[in-house]
Amino acid sequence: MKLKAIALALFIAGASASYAVADDGHGKGKSDSTSTATSTTSSHGKGKGKSTACKPNVAFVLNGTFVAAGTDGTSFSMKVTHANHHAQKLGNPATIQTDASTRILRNGKAVKVADLKADDRLNVQARGCKTVPAGTTQTMVAKRVVAHPAKTGGETTTTTTTTTTTETP
């Protein structure tokens, strides 16, 4: 009977220890397995057959005004008035591409590139590559474009009128 109790205790201790040691792969630490490190390295393309194509890894944020739609109907150019650090390298005016997943809003309603008007105020959010391989140009594909109509001359101006009266005795 003691032998069965000891065997049962060892079995339970072994089972709980193996459960505690098991890793589901979603932890924050690095894996000690060399096979995982090897497969990770090869899946990222670090090796002799390194790819020159970049994968978008930084956010580009541009503010400015709409200049014109491209002839293809999926791109447009904009005069950039403000840009985040990554987008400052794009130049002015910047050409922005769109695709089927690009969300374009004008006054809160979904529109297409052709519906944008000259001098519309734009906020463009796009993804791009932090470093572009030599000999290639940065292609910006917008994820979201928010447009508002151009500001009209609706500024209020105040006019003062001075009236001078003279009295004669």
**R_g (Cα) of the chain, nearest Å:** 31
Q: Is residue 108 part of a domain?
A: yes
pLDDT range class, residue 74, cuts 50, 70, 90: confident
SS3 102: coil
Q: In whole angstroms, what is the distance from residue 60 CA to residue 124 CA? A: 8
Provide CB contacts within 8 A for 115, sequence distance 6+: 104, 106
Half-sphere exposure for 85 (CA within 13 Å, toward CB): 3
Q: Is residue 118 part of a domain?
A: yes
**If you search the block for the tokens 């001075």, which residue do you land on?**
162
pLDDT in tens, 89-129: 777 888 888 999 999 999 999 999 888 899 999 999 988 87
**What residue type is 48 in one-letter code?**
K
Rounded to 5°, the CA angle 134-139-142 comes to 150
Q: Are 147 and 121 in contact (CB under 8 A)?
A: yes
pLDDT range class, residue 72, cuts 50, 70, 90: confident
Provide CB contacts within 8 A for 84, sequence distance 6+: 59, 60, 61, 62
Is 0.75 surpassed by the pTM of this model? Answer: no
pLDDT in tens, 3-58: 777 777 777 776 665 555 555 555 555 544 444 333 333 445 555 555 556 777 78
The domain total for the chain is 1
Q: CA nearest 122: which of 155, 153, 98?
A: 98
Q: Is residue 114 part of a domain?
A: yes
**Range with lowest mean pLDDT among 40-49, 56-65, 150-159:** 40-49
Q: What is the CATH number of the domain that holds 141?
A: 2.40.50.320
Where in the sequence is the domain holding 75, given as residue range(s)? 58-148
Q: Is residue 32 part of a domain?
A: no
